[in-house]
Structure formats: C-alpha cells, structure tokens
Structure 1
Amino acid sequence: MGATAQKDAPPTVEAVAPALSEDTSERTNSDQPIKEKSVAGGCLSVVVLGASGDLAKKKTFPAIFNLYKQGFLPDEMHIFGYARSKMTDEELREKLRGYLKPDRIDPAKDPEDVIKQFLNKITYIHGAYDADESFIQLNEEVSRHEQKRSDDVSPTRRLFYLALPPSVYPLVSKRISKHCMNQRGWTRVIVEKPFGKDLESSEALSSELGALFSEDQLYRIDHYLGKELVQNLLVMRFANRFFVPIWNRDNIASVQIVFKEDFGTQGRGGYFDEYGIIRDIIQNHLIQILCLLAMEKPISLSPEHIRDEKVKVLECIKPFNDKEVVIGQYEGYKDDQTVPNDSSTPTFASLVLHINNERWDGVPFILKAGKALDSRKAEIRVQFKDAPGDIFKCKKQGRNEFVMRLQPKEAMYMKLTVKEPGLDMRATQSELDMSYHQRYQDIVIPEAYERLILDT
C-alpha cells in the first residue's frame, strides 16, 4: 500500500494532455485518427510483456488503443507484444481485434480503418521470461524501430508494461535492466498490484525492483485509482463547502465500502487461490478508497502530498478485532480445476476498521468484498446520524446517506427525508440522484487503465 501510493494520484486526462503536448492544433500528413489532442512527437515504443494473457487483451491493449484513437499517443508509436505463446503478428492482432471498441473515434474516420492502423502498429515476439537471448532479440526489434522512426539525435522513449503475475516481475525486470534499457531517452516500467503476499514479500519485491530501476522509472499502479468516481472523491470532499463541516464523527454514523461480483473465478482459480479476496481486493482497492475518504486535505494535488496524508490514515488504523471479521467461500469454488481440493482461501470477506484520530474516533469503516454474490456492484456508502428531535417520526424511513456508485453505471446520490406530496404532513425518503449516463450523455468516461498509462 505504501509503495502503491507513490504514484497513485494520476491527474485527469485534460490535466495531463497539455503538459505532454507541444502543439494541440491539427496536424497534417498523419494517420492519427483524431487531431484535437496530440502528445509531443517522438518515437515511443510500448512493450507489453504477457501479451497473450487475459489482462493484456482485455485491459492493456484496449486502453492503449483508446488513447491512440483520441490522439494522446504519437504517430511514431509502435507496440511490441512479448509472451511465451507461439503465434504470429497476425494471430495476435486477430486475438485483440474483438476487444477494440470503435466508440470515441472521429466521426469523419472509418472505424475499421482506425482499428487496422492500430493493429498494424503491433509486432509480436515469442520468448521465455528467463531467456537472455529473447530479451536481446526484443531490444534489437525495438532499436530497429527507433532507428527507422527517428534520427540519430532525437530522444526516444520506451515503456514496458508488465501484464504478468508478480512472481515473474524479478525475472523479467532483471532482463529489461540488463538488455533493454533506452540509451537515447527515458525508460519506464509499469507493474500492477498485488505487490507480494505479505509485508516480507512486498519489501523483497520492492528491493529487487529498486535495485534495477530508479524511482522515476518505476510506476506501481492500482487500476482502481483511475476510476472516474474514485478520482472524484478528492473533488467531492474538498471542493464542496457543505461537506467540510459534516465530514466527521459528530455527523457520520458509519462508512461502508463494498465490492461485489456476480461471477466466480472463471478459470482463474489458480491465480486467485494464491491470494484470496483480502489480498486481491481489500488490502489494495478498498484500503486506497478508505484513505481517500478519511484523509485530511493535502497541501496540494501532487502525488507526494496525497501519499503523505494517506499514510497518516494508515498509521491511525487500529488492529482489527477478530469478532468483527467474517470470511467465507462460495459453494462450487473448488469445482474450478485450477483450485486445490483442500483450499480454504476466502472468496468473501467483511471486516470493520476503526481510525483512531480526532476526526473518526468511534466511526466504523466496514469493508466488504466477495465473488459469486447476488449482484455486481462497487459503492461507497456514507451514513449520517439521526437528526436530533424527531418531530416527524421519520426514523423508520432510514437515515440520510451519501452514496457513490463506482460500477456499474457510475452515479452519486443522496438519500434525504422529505415531505410526501399531499395534504398530510407525512415524511418519506427520496433521493437526489446524479447518474453519469444521464448527466453526461455526450461524454464517454475513460477506462481506469487509460488514465494510469497516460500518466506515465
């Protein structure tokens, strides 16, 4: 968690684009799908390690495509997919084609042409993750592209995305450091959670990666921090005056952070069984959200200042009480052939955390996460205390709540007690609702991975 926080507050797309751009005006003689926004020119090589896996085809490549088609990546970009699976360039392209969505493409462009342009920028290299000769070949391919798309003096850029299990990070990172570092510009490496299974393994992994790359070359990401509503948390808390005096133990009764999936492991039980729902969801995604909800106002929006305030929250969390923890495993979990028959790995967990500081003393933070449940939902629910002096006899209606639904169908709403229409003075509960798909009909919300990749 501490490591994740170092670069875990990516700015919005609008904030990043001007900083990266030298010229946002329309360019000519370019195959770029959209011209309004354009990253500063220069050769960019994106290397996706684990290119044949689920994460790469469902998240990484579509995120890169979405940035490309909106003009956030340069024409000189080329993508190198690297994995152990034997396949040709064309086989990888066909495998990815169905995951590239044509929305957000300039209406003047043919979507199929844009997808084809993007796929033609992908080269596949087959190799083992512990084979020096394969990474030497990878470096040769990247260097050949750099020589072709830039002159001898212009700087080049190399971005390595490790769409791999964390157990492979050290193997791959050693070979990137040894054979594939850029000699004419920056090299950056993206690694995704989980960062180990416990404190010992996390520190060991950080030490190994820290010995190979400088801190400004290494990007540890938690994709949940790129979600629109998570990004909105700081704005909601610190830019709205009416939240400032009530966001504390005097007014808030409890806070719930809930993550529910209506499907099981779907053949990925071998990976999931190694970590379980607590390591996979709670100790990273939900704890990060808790920190944003509970922290004090940072000095600025710089990642370092936000990280510092998060750390203060973590240091104030009391050790949890076993009586306030519930774990379980859904029926049928062990039917997955990749899960051991004697597995006791939890697929559901609920726990209560208490923050021992002046703002939150006595307020329970309830974290819940589970697979194969009754619905798919991720939300934050802040419940307020009862209004004193219940002259309307409305306690049975329920308390006021502020809810942020992260997925699906992003929304924010407040549950309020109001008068029921009619001649009687009867109270009822209603909602002030801002659903994103209704309020922002002409705006497509970026995927979390797009924000985090762009931030690198």
Structure 2
Amino acid sequence: MSNAVYLIFGATGDLARRKLFPAFYALYRERKLGDRFAVIGLARRPRTNEQFREDLYESIQEFARYNVTKDEQWSSFAEHFEYMSLDINNIEGFRQLSELTGTLDAKFEIGGNRLYYLALAPELFGSVSHNLQAGGMLEAGGWHRLVIEKPFGYDLPSAEKLNAEIRQVFDESDIYRIDHYLGKEMVQNINVVRFANAFFEPLWNHKYISNIQITLSETVGVEDRGGYYDRSGALRDMGQNHMLQMLAVMAMEPPSRMHPEDIRDEKVKVFRSLRGFQSAAEVRANTVRGQYISGTMKGKPVPGYREEESVNPESTTETYFAARVFVDNFRWAGVPFYIRTGKRLPVKTTEVVVEFKNVPNNVYLSRKHKLEPNLLVFRVNPMEGIYFKMNAKQPGSEGAIIPVAMDFCQSCQVGLNTPEAYERLLYDAARGDSTYFTRWDEVALAWKYVDKIASAWGERTEDLHLYGAGTWGPERGSQLLAEDGFRWWPVNGQDEGEVAWEFTQV
C-alpha cells in the first residue's frame, strides 16, 4: 500500500466511524498499511487530537474485525491520526490544512502522496475540490486522488454538473467513485467463478440460462435517514448503483487483459446494451414501485413508511423497486434479468441466482418426474458462499428424484476473517487500482437508464403498490416473473410462500 496522507472529510460522521477507521486498523494489523502514513480527520465540530483518538479507539473497538487494546501497538497506530476543525467554505482553513499536511508528510517521510476521501453530501464535492486547489493542497509532489461516495448526483443532469465541477480540478484517472458492493468478497468472486472454470463460461449465455435474479433486501426501515431517503427512494438509492453494477458484473464479456480499464470497458458495454424504455407504458409493464405500510417484523409491530420520522405523511417515494431488464447483445438476447430491492422485507440478504434452462419435457426422466431447474447461487451478504442446485436420486427410494445442493459456505470456514469491502477499496485506491470503482461513463449510462423509469413514475403516482412490512413486497413483484413463467427463488431458504428447500449439503 502506497505511502500517503489520508484526509477524511466528514470524520465525525457515521461512515467514518463504522467503516473507514476500522478499515485503517485492519489494514495496519495485516501490514498492508506500513508506518509511513498519516490520517487527518476533518469536520466542523471542535475536537482535540486526544478526543479524536478516543473516538477512533471506540470506533475500532465496536466495529473492527480485530480486537484492540490500548497497548504499545495501539499507540504506534494512533500517533498517525490527527484532527483539524475545518469550515469547507473557508479558503484560509485549507491553507492551514496544507501546512499541517506538509508537517505530517515530513514527519512520516511520505513523499507528497495525498488521498482525499469525501464522506460528505454530494453537493459539496465540487466546492471542496476547488477549495483543495485554491488552498494549495494539490501543489505537493506525488499523486493526488479523490475518493467520493454515492450518490453521485440525483439524475443525469445533476451528475453531469457535479462531474464537470470535479473534472475542473481532478483528472478522471484520479477520481475514485465508490460503490462498496463492488468491494464485497462474493461480488468479486463472480468473475473468478465465471472466467476461471472451463465448464461455466460455455454455459453463460441465452442458450443455457433462462433468467438471472438479483435480490438486495433489507429488514430495516429508513431509520434516521428519512429526510434523505424521501428525496431519493429505492430506485436512486439502490437501483442506479448497486443493482445495475451487480447486473453488469454478471453480464459482462471476458476482458482481454486483467487491466482496470479493460474490465470497466466491458461493464460499459453492458450498460450500452440495456434495452431502453420507449414509453411510460413500457416502464409500467417492466418495473414495480412499492412502499411499505405498517406490519410485523420478528413478532413486533413496525410503522409504515409515511409514519417514519422526517418523512412526508403523503409521500409517494418508493421503498421497493423491481424490474425486468434485458441486455440486448448476442450473449444475452431474450434472457430477463430480474432485480429487486426493498426495505422492511423479511430477510436481510444479497443474492444472485442463475437459473439454467430445464431439460426437455417428455424426454427420459422428465416423462415421469417434475424436474427442478439447476441453479447457481452467489450469496453476497450477510452469509458469503456459493451453491449449485441439481437433481439427484433420493437415497433408498425407488427412483425418486429430489433437488440437492453442493454448498460452499465461505462464512462457515473456521478461522476465516473476511476483509470488509471498505478495506479492499481503501487499499486499492491507495495502490491506484481502479478496477472496483465506477468510471464516469458507467455512472452516466446508469443514470440515463434510471431517469426514464423515474420520469414515467412521476407521471402516475397511482402506480405505487403498497406492501406490509415483513412481507416480500407487493404482489406485482411476483406477477412480473409469473408473466414469463418464472418465480422468485427462495432467499436464504425462505420464499414468498414461506416454503424452505430441503437440501443435502455436500
């Protein structure tokens, strides 16, 4: 990992506390982060270095993968962290920050490298970028990289404006747009399974796959994000980034080289091949927008979305989004990709299900048996793993056929302490590896696709489908698949009819 000064804007916020500081500690414990680094926490709130380091310790103690105690190792780690109160609209403050950065650079022999992490509201990205330049922060030798969180804009015009502001200061090659799902172990494992196994890639096309299902479900409501979420909704908060990015990983062609730009080029080709919507009627036929009402979660009553704090009591913002998506190229012609995401669903999970075409009817075993299709499932979160479902003879029976699964549970392995997504992404950004960050053309094409949906939804608020908290969303979400002769496969062994599979683990 390169030597650098890491400047964390929004250092007193929830993201820094839950993800970034624990990530720094894990990288340090694994010796991926050496001794030639410094971290400057930046926020408006007054804080001494001692108070900041105490906050740092509490954050790591609560959220890090490694246990921490206040010993010599902790002292060596904590001395690299300093805090500065900063008004991001004050140029003089940035000049003082430049002096502090230079001091720490000299102290730890860093060599001028800077990584600016903006854990801030998107509308501040442009002004902070310009003030970094005006305050002399970009004049030091070494590289300068900007890491920014989603959402990147609210729609395509706002994203274009935001990108133009940032590009006046930073080159595209120095901008690292985080989609933390791309840092997850099993999302990165998808391409390994595809491209490192000779028996999968020949089957990875419309001749053998009937459909692909991507589910990202949450059990929580909007919590303390009601004000933000009511302006965003599931489509913009999850659909435009996480859902479409996972779809692109599943659908992309093998890159010609293991180079970040070649890999991202292939994802862009997928986005360019997405079948657009020509009318509002097409949008309504292929998408579902839902909003949860009061219901029961784990035996306890929970309020409806419109009853949540900071939410408009008459809000039509969607908390559930599902869509039937087509990638119009030779590999995927005619294969539907079904995506869904929602809040207050029964199970918290992220899964990708590849359903293969079934054997022909009335041929050999299918004459007497109702054979289930083969499934390849990537479990991304919270349990990580892969399983393959196939048909086999039931032991001891007179020819009965049952579905069995070969199940690889990565999370079950003894001693495995899987790195968090932010650890990988911080590590990659410091090394200059942009593979798992989103490029501007990816962002723009995703917004172009999503904006058509949002525009059509805005014309007819009566298309909002209500669903009870604790259910799998509106009935229309199931009808979307039923129209094509499919159904949502169980998530973590639980489907909409509460029917669990009986699997034999191998």
TM over 0.5: same fold? yes
Q: Is residue 124 of structure 2 the alignment partner of residue 168 of structure 1? A: yes
Corresponding residue number in structure 2 for 1:361: 333
Deviation digits for residues 46-95 of structure 1, max 9, x if unmatched?
A: 11000011111111111112111211112121111101222322333333
Read off the aligned partner of 1:349 and give its amino acid letter: F
User: Per-residue deviation at 1:336?
Assistant: 3.0
Corresponding residue number in structure 1 for 2:286: 324
Q: Is residue 258 of structure 2 the alignment partner of residue 301 of structure 1? A: yes
Read off the aligned partner of 2:216 and give its amino acid letter: F
Q: Work out whether residues 359 and 366 of structure 2, in 8 Å CA contact, stay in contact via their aligned partners in 1.
A: no
Corresponding residue number in structure 2 for 1:14: none
Corresponding residue number in structure 2 for 1:36: none
TM-score by length of 2: 0.77
- Relative to structure 1, is the Cα distance of residues 103 and 166 closer, same or farther in structure 2, using a 3 angstrom cutoff? closer
Q: CA RMSD in A?
A: 2.0
User: Per-residue deviation at 1:237?
Assistant: 0.8
User: Per-residue deviation at 1:444?
Assistant: 1.8
Deviation digits for residues 204-228 of structure 1, max 9, x if unmatched?
A: 1111111111233221221111111
Q: Work out whether residues 197 and 279 of structure 1, in 8 Å CA contact, stay in contact via their aligned partners in 2.
A: yes
For 1:91 and 1:393, the matched residues in 2 are separated by 72
Give the match's secondary structure for 1:51: coil
Match of 1:127 among 81, 86, 92: 86
Corresponding residue number in structure 1 for 2:162: 205
For 1:112 and 1:103, the matched residues in 2 are separated by 18
- Relative to structure 1, is the Cα distance of residues 309 and 347 closer, same or farther in structure 2, using a 3 angstrom cutoff? same
Q: Work out whether residues 35 and 108 of structure 2, in 8 Å CA contact, stay in contact via their aligned partners in 1.
A: no
Q: Work out whether residues 105 and 111 of structure 2, in 8 Å CA contact, stay in contact via their aligned partners in 1.
A: no
Corresponding residue number in structure 2 for 1:340: 312
Corresponding residue number in structure 2 for 1:72: 32
Q: Is residue 201 of structure 2 the alignment partner of residue 244 of structure 1? A: yes
Deviation digits for residues 232-253 of structure 1, max 9, x if unmatched?
A: 1111111111112211111111
- Relative to structure 1, is the Cα distance of residues 394 and 159 closer, same or farther in structure 2, using a 3 angstrom cutoff? farther
For 1:334 and 1:91, the matched residues in 2 are separated by 39
User: Per-residue deviation at 1:348?
Assistant: 0.6
**268-277 or 84-93: which moved more?**
84-93
Match of 1:224 among 177, 181, 186: 181
User: Per-residue deviation at 1:342?
Assistant: 3.0
Match of 2:152 among 195, 215, 222: 195
Give the match's secondary structure for 1:416: strand
Read off the aligned partner of 1:202 and give its amino acid letter: A
User: Per-residue deviation at 1:406?
Assistant: 0.2
Corresponding residue number in structure 2 for 1:420: 394
User: Per-residue deviation at 1:390?
Assistant: 5.5
User: Per-residue deviation at 1:423?
Assistant: 4.1
Match of 2:103 among 144, 147, 160: 144
User: Per-residue deviation at 1:394?
Assistant: 7.1
- Relative to structure 1, is the Cα distance of residues 89 and 155 closer, same or farther in structure 2, using a 3 angstrom cutoff? closer
Match of 2:112 among 145, 156, 160: 156
Give the match's secondary structure for 1:67: helix
**382-391 or 405-414: which moved more?**
382-391
Give the match's secondary structure for 2:199: helix
Query: In the TM superposition, what are the counterparts of 1:217-296 in structure 2 within 5 Å?
Result: 217-296=174-253
Gaps of 5+ in 1: 1-38
Gaps of 5+ in 2: 294-303, 430-506
Q: Work out whether residues 263 and 372 of structure 1, in 8 Å CA contact, stay in contact via their aligned partners in 2.
A: yes
For 2:336 and 2:70, the matched residues in 1 are separated by 50
Corresponding residue number in structure 2 for 1:403: 377
For 1:274 and 1:173, the matched residues in 2 are separated by 25
- Relative to structure 1, is the Cα distance of residues 214 and 326 closer, same or farther in structure 2, using a 3 angstrom cutoff? same
User: Per-residue deviation at 1:368?
Assistant: 0.3
Q: Work out whether residues 414 and 432 of structure 1, in 8 Å CA contact, stay in contact via their aligned partners in 2.
A: yes
**72-81 or 403-412: which moved more?**
72-81
Give the match's secondary structure for 1:367: strand
Deviation digits for residues 15-35 of structure 1, max 9, x if unmatched?
A: xxxxxxxxxxxxxxxxxxxxx
- Relative to structure 1, is the Cα distance of residues 111 and 399 closer, same or farther in structure 2, using a 3 angstrom cutoff? farther
For 1:390 and 1:319, the matched residues in 2 are separated by 41
Give the match's secondary structure for 1:100: helix
For 1:314 and 1:452, the matched residues in 2 are separated by 23
User: Per-residue deviation at 1:397?
Assistant: 5.2
- Relative to structure 1, is the Cα distance of residues 115 and 268 closer, same or farther in structure 2, using a 3 angstrom cutoff? farther
**167-176 or 111-120: which moved more?**
111-120
Deviation digits for residues 155-206 of structure 1, max 9, x if unmatched?
A: 2211111111111111211111221124132221111222111111111111
Q: Work out whether residues 69 and 114 of structure 1, in 8 Å CA contact, stay in contact via their aligned partners in 2.
A: no
Query: In the TM superposition, what are the counterparts of 1:20-39 in structure 2 within 5 Å?
Result: 39=1
Corresponding residue number in structure 2 for 1:32: none
**334-343 or 155-164: which moved more?**
334-343
Corresponding residue number in structure 2 for 1:114: 73
Q: How many residues align?
A: 409
Match of 2:16 among 52, 56, 62: 56
Q: Is residue 52 of structure 2 the alignment partner of residue 92 of structure 1? A: yes
Read off the aligned partner of 1:63 and give its amino acid letter: A
Read off the aligned partner of 2:83 and give its amino acid letter: Y
For 1:276 and 1:47, the matched residues in 2 are separated by 30
Corresponding residue number in structure 1 for 2:491: none
For 2:369 and 2:84, the matched residues in 1 are separated by 64
Q: % of aligned pairs identical?
A: 38
For 2:5 and 2:265, the matched residues in 1 are separated by 33
For 1:436 and 1:255, the matched residues in 2 are separated by 22
- Relative to structure 1, is the Cα distance of residues 256 and 127 closer, same or farther in structure 2, using a 3 angstrom cutoff? same
For 1:375 and 1:158, the matched residues in 2 are separated by 41
Corresponding residue number in structure 2 for 1:10: none
- Relative to structure 1, is the Cα distance of residues 390 and 95 closer, same or farther in structure 2, using a 3 angstrom cutoff? farther
Deviation digits for residues 253-287 of structure 1, max 9, x if unmatched?
A: 11001100110121012222222111111111111
- Relative to structure 1, is the Cα distance of residues 191 and 103 closer, same or farther in structure 2, using a 3 angstrom cutoff? closer
- Relative to structure 1, is the Cα distance of residues 167 and 417 closer, same or farther in structure 2, using a 3 angstrom cutoff? same
For 2:173 and 2:268, the matched residues in 1 are separated by 20
Match of 1:374 among 333, 337, 346: 346
- Relative to structure 1, is the Cα distance of residues 289 and 428 closer, same or farther in structure 2, using a 3 angstrom cutoff? same
- Relative to structure 1, is the Cα distance of residues 358 and 216 closer, same or farther in structure 2, using a 3 angstrom cutoff? closer
TM-score by length of 1: 0.85
Q: Work out whether residues 225 and 231 of structure 1, in 8 Å CA contact, stay in contact via their aligned partners in 2.
A: yes
For 1:93 and 1:184, the matched residues in 2 are separated by 28
Corresponding residue number in structure 2 for 1:437: 411
- Relative to structure 1, is the Cα distance of residues 379 and 213 closer, same or farther in structure 2, using a 3 angstrom cutoff? same
Q: Is residue 56 of structure 2 the alignment partner of residue 83 of structure 1? A: no
